[in-house]
Amino acid sequence: MRSLLWTCVFLLLMGELFLTLILVIPFPRRLRNWIVVAVSKLELKKRLGAPIKALFVVLVLALADAVTFLAKIYGAKEQYDHDGKSDSLGLNNPLDRHLIKEKEYKAGRNMYLVGFALTLLFVIGRITELMQEHAELAGKIENLEMAVSIMHADNDKNGGSKNDVAIDGIEMKPIVLKKKD
């Protein structure tokens, strides 16, 4: 049963790595924003919220299992070093010591697997949030640029000033850069 759990954690980690790779591939900005907007319309955050929370709980329990199993091995090894004998682990012959080292290695590996899977879960969440915020802000910038161009066109027709434009209570003035001495 444990090997099935750790195989699933490994496959989850590989899936998370693949998803992270896809998220950080540099696409053109317009294509990326279009994809993000299309995916955000699916409301995946609401739909996948409960399964992701359940996955988080399972990963935390798996991490706790790996840590307790590793602590048990370390405790038995310390007791063996202190007493010189251990009946719980059977460290009296070289083959048993080798098997215990193997269990220790696997428990440590499993702890790292779960730790990396949890970390990537948070990283993927943050990357998707940042991508969605970027797409929303890019859309707002495009809307403001269109509004400014329309206002400039209207001001040109009416003979108004080109430098000061007011849009919905927002006063937009050209930025004047000052040289520092």
SS3 for 29-97 is HHHHHHHHHHHHCCCHHHHCHHHHHHHHHHHHHHHHHHHHHHHHHHHHHHHHHHHCCCCCCCCCCHHHH
Is residue 135 within 8 A of residue 40, CB to CB? The reply is yes
User: Residues of the chain with pLDDT > 70: what percent?
Assistant: 81
pLDDT at residue number 172: 59
pLDDT (mean) for 131-143: 86
Question: For residue 161, what pLDDT band results from cuts at 50, 70 and 90?
Answer: low
The pLDDT assigned to 97 comes to 78
State which of 2-16, 72-86, 125-139 shows the largest mean pLDDT.
Answer: 2-16
Give 173's pLDDT tier (boundaries 50, 70, 90): low
What pLDDT does residue 175 have? 62
Q: pTM of the prediction? A: 0.69
* Owner of token pair 């010189």: 84
Segment 21-56, tens digit of pLDDT: 998 888 888 888 888 888 888 888 788 889 999 999
Mean pLDDT of 82-90: 60
Side chain identity, residue 127: I
Task: Using a pLDDT cut of 90, give the percent of the chain over it.
Answer: 33
Rounded-to-integer distance, Cα 128 and Cα 132, Å: 6
Q: At what angle do helices 2-24 and 49-83 cross, to 10 degrees?
A: 130
The residues, ordered by sequence, that sit 6+ positions from 10 with a Cβ below 8 Å of its Cβ are 113
Whole-angstrom CA distances from 115 to 2, 4, 40, 56, 98 are 17, 18, 28, 11, 26
pLDDT at residue 14 in the model: 96
